[in-house]
Amino acid sequence: MARHRNVRNRSYSDDYDYDDVYGHSVEEDNCLSPSDTSQWMYDRSRNHQAISSFLENHNDIQEETEEEPLTEPSRPELDRRQSSDLRCLSLTEADEAKLLSCLDELRNILGDTVSENMLIQTVLSHKFDFNKALDALLSNDKNKPKQTEKIKEQSRAPPLVRIEPAKTVINVDKTPKVIATNNEPTTVGVIKGFKVEQDGSSGSRPQTPRDQSPTTEKSNQAPSKVKEKNDPNKQYSNERGSDKDHLYIVVIGHVDAGKSTLMGRLLCELGEVSQRTLHKYEQESKKIGKQSFMYAWVLDETGEERVRGITMDVGRAQFETKTKKVIILDAPGHADFIPNMITGAGQADVALLVVDATRGEFESGFELGGQTREHALLVRSLGISQLAVAVNKLDTTNWSEDRFNEIVTKLKIFLKQAGFKDSDITYVPCSGLTGENLVKPPNELELCKWYKGPCLLDVIDRCNVPVRPVSKPLRMSINDIFKSTGTGFCVAGRIENGILNKGDKVLVCPIKELAEVKGISINDLASNVAFAGDQVSVTLSGVDMQNVSVGNVLSDPVQQVPVSSRFEARLVVFNVKVPITKGYPILIHHQSLVESANIVKLKALLNKSTGEILKKKPRCLGNNSVAVVDIEVCRPICIERYKDVKELGRVMLRVAGVTIAAGLITDIYDT
Amino acid sequence: MKLIYKNIEKDGCGSIGLVPEESEDMWHAYNLIAEGDAVTASTVRKVQTESSTGSSTSNRVRTTLTIRVESIDFDTQACVLRLKGRNIEENQYVKMGAYHTLDLEQNRKFILQKVLWDSVALDRVEAACDPTATADVAAVVMQEGLAHVCLITPSMTLVRSKIDVTIPRKRKGFVQQHEKGLNKFYDAVMQGILRHIDFNIVKCVILASPGFVKDQFFDYMMQQAIKTDNKLLIENKGKFLLVKASSGFKHSLKEVLQEPSVMAKISDTKAASEVKLLESFYTMLQLEPAKAFYGKKHVEKANEALALETLMISDKLFRCQDISKRKEYVALVDSARENGCDVRIFSSMHVSGEQLDQLTGIAAILRFPMPELEDSDLEGDSDVESD
């Protein structure tokens, strides 16, 4: 067990190499003579052969081990490194090139579902014919489930260990700095493996030197890891399959449309707010003469917000419907707090647009410069396509159907222009203050006469939850940093891609510092794992709180998020007072990040519908145009191409408190 | 700046003696002095002397040197101008051709000799020596977690301090952390104001922010001032002016300077008028694109057609290393003036000037539309300018 103690005492934060682990464990704990060591140990510096060739030379030894099933092919080892595969295959240079290009093609199509080794073998057996090999692989895939459990795991295991050799290599070429961190996942993987052994079979394992040779080590580890870590989709369905789906909904609308009140009332009706608290709010709001704000106080918590009677920062609360766990993000409606609203909307799946039905109020929110308009455009540009429209305060018009229809018609035309599909929008008449048509079908006679549709809660319940990209590399954008009660500090944000496990190492970009995840909590409940789409707060250690700022991104240490200060984007220009020219200073909003930037180049003006180039290098961009531009940010930020990660590929451009354009990042320049 | 003497021949060559009096004058000097000019100024130099026995001693001597300027270095923060070049006049301590770096100092005379004093340079001297044009305004643009403390002088906007603090968001049960963070931020801004703003010089202090940050901050600052008995702040309470801005980034100063209440207070400082002018250019570009042009080629073509009404040009273009380029721009300005055009030289230290710099540095509003310019493709040209 001494070996295990050794591992336990090790400080994981050190960047030690994969090979070190084996080197140490053999040398220190099993007092072998140097000659023995050299016989059993693999040392890269001494022996420049790849592991696989080493193993093949000692095939007899492998078969001696009792735990090893004789049928087991030596494939997993081959998968470790691409170079080893190629070397032991003894191909001519030309063949090797063919093989590599074939592999690349196959990778493009198959992704990581099939192990490298399988690919190589198939390609070889089909004499480098890409199409035939692909056919064979695909049909092979179908047959797979029929094979024995053991083999299935074997063939699955490798992709986990192998960190996409091809991609990693490219990575290194681009940014040499990365090299150090590239070893990381291997180390993490090894640690994981040890942990599993400790829990399970380790006690019964004979401590012979043979067992500590890399061969057996690996074959024992691999299957356990399949279950543990490396099938995100499986893990996701395991963890969340039975649970209700999480749905994040942002509440938007013009100032004083009644967003907070509506949500506050909804929460009260659902019993999420205790009677005592509510009574307290009622008393206190009466005291300052703003009794109508009592429900809004459920979400507006800071003193400033309550005194002024407006929401300033995004408030959040949660409740459950029949099929979903809903987290509401109550966005501020005031024009000055749109940056906060963008932060909130960036984290949401669907939006609830609240409009004030009062005569005059709706119009003022809807006319040019009103927040109804700007918010709707913003959430659409932020990628939200499902929208529920709550026509609020309809009690003030005595539940007039005409008024409702008038508003719906006006909104329909506008929302269609903004890019929403009619089928994705639901209109609900309701009243936040009286609580009509929120969780129960309406009682009001006037409303019952003409309205037969669902109540607000049902509408929310019917929203579709988007597919969560759990299998992609981790990306989490930070929108809040605060001190937690324990050690370290917390960052909060939404996981855009991938999964995050407790104990994972993550890279804080753009400062590129490695941090360890000490704890995860989702909606104030501690958890061991979080998936794409979750709002989490993560306790980090290993970085200084001072160095982390809002808008930073937690990234997978291997497949890092690109960091750059200059990028190319396709802009859709909204209604602007002055045209956009070269050198126009703007603020860009990217997730929760706000940074000042310049448009440095107007590349081309595009046709709105067809996307073909109308004019190269236009002098300026006017209203409602579509264009390709280069944008330079005053300091490097984490961005992704839109085609890679949608959420991180969107930017909003604002000037003087007005959103002037939305953009999709099409290219990122190295800086 | 004080003009001591002006001695310029008919062909344009000659010398001018100047005494810089405040830090802004350094900026004017920076714009006046070009590479190849000769500058005479008093300076300190370490001189090594070897005695007959071979032992050497070094001591610092103050002497007056004349150098041919080879490189110019301006530190915007400290407003220090450094000129490097070879000695061209015989001196007791310094050999001819020896390198020396002159630090121009305030209240010490320097003499600038140029082979050619062009109109732009002469205008600059005149502007620099005009004592009425001084009006110092301080501005603090802020938003939650970000603030810039700036000084606005007629020809410069100086960011004196940038405060960037992360403030935890409000969350259930953690409201105190948000408020604590906010107070910490306000405190930092207040320290910035106390440290960098001299209330004896500054006419008014603009506090600008979106939402209620400015009001909250002002309340906080006054409370703190009363608490700590800070006379300076209490006495100058009337100098503070609260204005709306859209963000805490530097370029929102542009909005601040356009605010009518600010305009009234700081009427005809250069900064405000430049912002106004650039804004009118953009409006023209929106309404009548054929009457607003930018880029050297376009503007030159328009000038040939006597179409220029207002010419905006960044002083950065006159500082360029290439003398022939500078000549071209000077010629453009001169001919535009001759044609009755209003020529405004923007200071690249202002936010509006920064924007103009990005916009090729030269822009013009025309008297009449020239649609033919718009259509003519000058691709090669814009490529050169953008890179």
Reported as a single tens digit per residue, the pLDDT across A154-198 is 444 444 444 444 444 444 444 444 344 344 343 333 333 344 334
What are the DSSP calls for A227-253, one per residue? IIII-HHHHHHHHHSSSPEEEEEEEEE
Instruction: Considering only the beta carbons, identify the residue of B212, B255, B357 that sits closest to A304.
Output: B212
Q: In this model, does residue A153 exceed pLDDT 50?
A: no
What are the DSSP calls for B227-263, one per residue? HHT-HHHHHTGGGEEEEE-S-SSGGGHHHHHHSHHHH
Q: 330-389 in A: which are within 8 Å (CB) of B?
A: 334, 336-337, 339
Cα A4 → chain centroid: 35
pLDDT at B376: 65
Residue A60 CB-density burial (10 A; 0-12 exposed, 13-18 middle, 19+ buried): exposed
Asked if residue A22 lies in contact with residue A43, where contact means CB atoms within 8 angstroms, the answer is no
SS3 B358: helix
Query: How far, in Å, CA of B267 to CA of B259, rounded?
Result: 11
**Token pair for residue A229?**
């870590």
- Report the DSSP beta bridge partners of residue A481: A491
Instruction: Considering only the beta carbons, identify the residue of B169, B246, B354 that sits closest to A313.
Output: B169
Residue B121 CB-density burial (10 A; 0-12 exposed, 13-18 middle, 19+ buried): buried
Q: 440-499 in A: which are within 8 Å (CB) of B?
A: 479-483, 492
Interface test with B, best of A319, A374, A480 (most B CBs within 10 A): A480
Q: Which residue has the higher pLDDT, A134 or A228?
A: A134
Which residues of chain A make contact with B375, given a CB cutoff of 8 A? none
Interface test with A, best of B166, B220, B254 (most A CBs within 10 A): B166
Cα distance from B196 to chain A (closest Cα, Å)?
A: 24
Band of the pLDDT at A593, cuts 50, 70, 90? confident
Query: How far, in Å, CA of B181 to CA of A663, rounded?
Result: 33
Interface test with B, best of A298, A318, A594, A613 (most B CBs within 10 A): A594
Which residues of chain B make contact with A600, given a CB cutoff of 8 A? 358, 386
- Report the DSSP beta bridge partners of residue A87: none
Cα distance from B261 to chain A (closest Cα, Å)?
A: 18
pLDDT at A35: 65
Lowest mean pLDDT: which of A241-245, A316-320, A338-342, A494-498?
Answer: A241-245
**Token pair for residue B12?**
């344009």
The tens digit of pLDDT for each residue in B135-156 reads 578 889 988 888 999 888 777 7
Q: Which amino acid appears at position B314 of this protein?
A: S
Please answer yes or no on whether B210 and A657 come within 8 Å at the CB atom.
yes
Q: What is the mean pLDDT of residues A518-543?
A: 84
Instruction: Considering only the beta carbons, identify the residue of B145, B251, B285 that sits closest to A596.
Output: B251
Q: What is the mean pLDDT of residues A392-411?
A: 84
Q: In this model, does residue B177 exceed pLDDT 70?
A: yes
pLDDT at A198: 40
Query: How far, in Å, CA of A456 to CA of A266, rounded?
Result: 9
Q: 605-664 in A: which are within 8 Å (CB) of B?
A: 616-617, 619-620, 622, 654-658
Which residues of chain A make contact with B252, given a CB cutoff of 8 A? 656
Which residues of chain A make contact with B175, given a CB cutoff of 8 A? 301-302
Asked if residue B137 lies in contact with residue B204, where contact means CB atoms within 8 angstroms, the answer is yes
What are the DSSP calls for A11-48, one per residue? -TTS---HHHHHHHHHHHHS---HHHHHHH---TTT--
Q: Which amino acid appears at position A106 of this protein?
A: L
Which residues of chain A make contact with B178, given a CB cutoff of 8 A? 302, 313
Q: Which residue has the higher pLDDT, B293 or A238?
A: B293
What is the distance between the terminal CA atoms of chain A, rounded to a whole angstrom? 50
What is the overall mean pLDDT for chain A?
Answer: 72
CA distances from A268 to A288, A318, A438 (A): 22, 11, 11
The tens digit of pLDDT for each residue in A186-223 reads 333 333 334 433 443 433 444 444 444 444 444 444 44
Domains in chain A, CATH or no CATH each: 2-90+147-230 (no CATH), 245-462 (3.40.50.300), 475-555 (2.40.30.10), 563-668 (2.40.30.10)
Query: How far, in Å, CA of A344 to CA of A350, rounded?
Result: 11
Q: In this model, does residue A270 exceed pLDDT 70?
A: yes
**Token pair for residue A542?**
């290993």
- B5–A contact, CB cutoff 8 A: no
Query: How far, in Å, CA of A507 to CA of A559, rounded?
Result: 10
Q: In this model, does residue B368 exceed pLDDT 70?
A: yes
- Count Cα neighbours of A208 within 13 Å in the Cβ-side half-sphere: 8
- Residue matched to tokens 């004499």: A127
Domains in chain B, CATH or no CATH each: 2-133 (2.30.30.870), 137-267 (3.30.420.60), 271-386 (3.30.1330.30)
Q: Which of A668, A651, A658, A518 is nearest to A588 (CA)?
A: A651
Q: In this model, does residue A609 exceed pLDDT 70?
A: yes
Q: What are phi and psi of A636, to 5 degrees?
A: -60, 140
What is the overall mean pLDDT for chain B?
Answer: 83
How many C-beta atoms surround the C-beta of residue A616 within 10 A? 13
- Residue matched to tokens 């929403």: A420
pLDDT at B187: 92
Largest interatomic CA distance in chain B: 84
Please answer yes or no on whether A582 and B360 come within 8 Å at the CB atom.
yes
Q: Quick one: closest CA in B to A599, which residue?
A: B358
Asked if residue B128 lies in contact with residue B30, where contact means CB atoms within 8 angstroms, the answer is no
Query: How far, in Å, CA of A505 to CA of A518, rounded?
Result: 9
Percent of chain A with pLDDT over 90: 0
Instruction: Return the DSSP state at B171.
Output: -
CA distances from A340 to A315, B18, B143, B289 (A): 10, 52, 12, 35
Interface test with A, best of B146, B179, B249 (most A CBs within 10 A): B249
Contacts for A208 with CB less than 8 Å, ≥ 6 apart = none
Which residues of chain B make contact with A308, given a CB cutoff of 8 A? 212
Contacts for A127 with CB less than 8 Å, ≥ 6 apart = none
pLDDT at A218: 41
Please answer yes or no on whether B177 and A483 come within 8 Å at the CB atom.
yes
- B372–A contact, CB cutoff 8 A: no
Asked if residue B189 lies in contact with residue B162, where contact means CB atoms within 8 angstroms, the answer is no
Please answer yes or no on whether A596 and B171 come within 8 Å at the CB atom.
no
- A209–B contact, CB cutoff 8 A: no
Q: In this model, does residue A50 exceed pLDDT 60?
A: no
Give just the sign of the alpha carbon dihedral A473, A479, A482, A486: negative
Query: How far, in Å, CA of B300 to CA of A192, rounded?
Result: 69
Asked if residue B361 lies in contact with residue B315, where contact means CB atoms within 8 angstroms, the answer is no
Lowest mean pLDDT: which of A95-104, A211-220, B277-286?
Answer: A211-220
pLDDT at A143: 52
Q: Which residue has the higher pLDDT, A130 or A662?
A: A662
Band of the pLDDT at A138, cuts 50, 70, 90? low
Please answer yes or no on whether B294 and A581 come within 8 Å at the CB atom.
yes
Q: 137-166 in B: which are within 8 Å (CB) of A?
A: 143, 145, 164, 166
Q: In this model, does residue B14 exceed pLDDT 50?
A: yes
- A318–B contact, CB cutoff 8 A: no
Please answer yes or no on whether B212 and A308 come within 8 Å at the CB atom.
yes
How many C-beta atoms surround the C-beta of residue B11 within 10 A? 9
- Count Cα neighbours of B250 within 13 Å in the Cβ-side half-sphere: 23
Q: 274-303 in B: which are within 8 Å (CB) of A?
A: 279, 282-283, 285-286, 289, 293-294
pLDDT at B188: 92
Long-range contacts of A450-454 (CB under 8 A, 24+ apart): A450/A401, A451/A401, A451/A404, A453/A426, A453/A427, A453/A428, A454/A426, A454/A428
The tens digit of pLDDT for each residue in B207-258 reads 998 888 888 899 999 999 999 988 888 888 888 888 888 888 888 888 888 8
Band of the pLDDT at A91, cuts 50, 70, 90? low
Which residues of chain A make contact with B177, given a CB cutoff of 8 A? 482-483
Band of the pLDDT at A83, cuts 50, 70, 90? very low
Q: In this model, does residue A17 exceed pLDDT 80?
A: no
pLDDT at A4: 58
- B203–A contact, CB cutoff 8 A: no
What ipTM describes this predicted complex? 0.72
Q: In this model, does residue B12 exceed pLDDT 50?
A: yes
Q: Quick one: closest CA in A to B295, which residue?
A: A619
Instruction: Considering only the beta carbons, identify the residue of A308, A492, A596 that sits closest to B249.
Output: A596
Cα distance from A570 to chain B (closest Cα, Å)?
A: 19
Query: How far, in Å, CA of B327 to CA of B333, rounded?
Result: 10
Asked if residue B32 lies in contact with residue B125, where contact means CB atoms within 8 angstroms, the answer is yes
Residue B235 CB-density burial (10 A; 0-12 exposed, 13-18 middle, 19+ buried): exposed
- A568–B contact, CB cutoff 8 A: no
Please answer yes or no on whether B246 and A315 come within 8 Å at the CB atom.
no
Q: What is the mean pLDDT of residues A29-39?
A: 59
pLDDT at A45: 54
Which residues of chain A make contact with B216, given a CB cutoff of 8 A? 304
The tens digit of pLDDT for each residue in B52-84 reads 888 888 888 888 889 999 988 888 777 788 999
Q: Which of B80, B250, B245, B83 is nearest to B158 (CA)?
A: B250
Q: In this model, does residue A320 exceed pLDDT 50?
A: yes
Please answer yes or no on whether B283 and A656 come within 8 Å at the CB atom.
no
Please answer yes or no on whether B175 and A601 come within 8 Å at the CB atom.
no
**Token pair for residue A668?**
């990122």
Cα B73 → chain centroid: 14
Please answer yes or no on whether B172 and A524 come within 8 Å at the CB atom.
yes
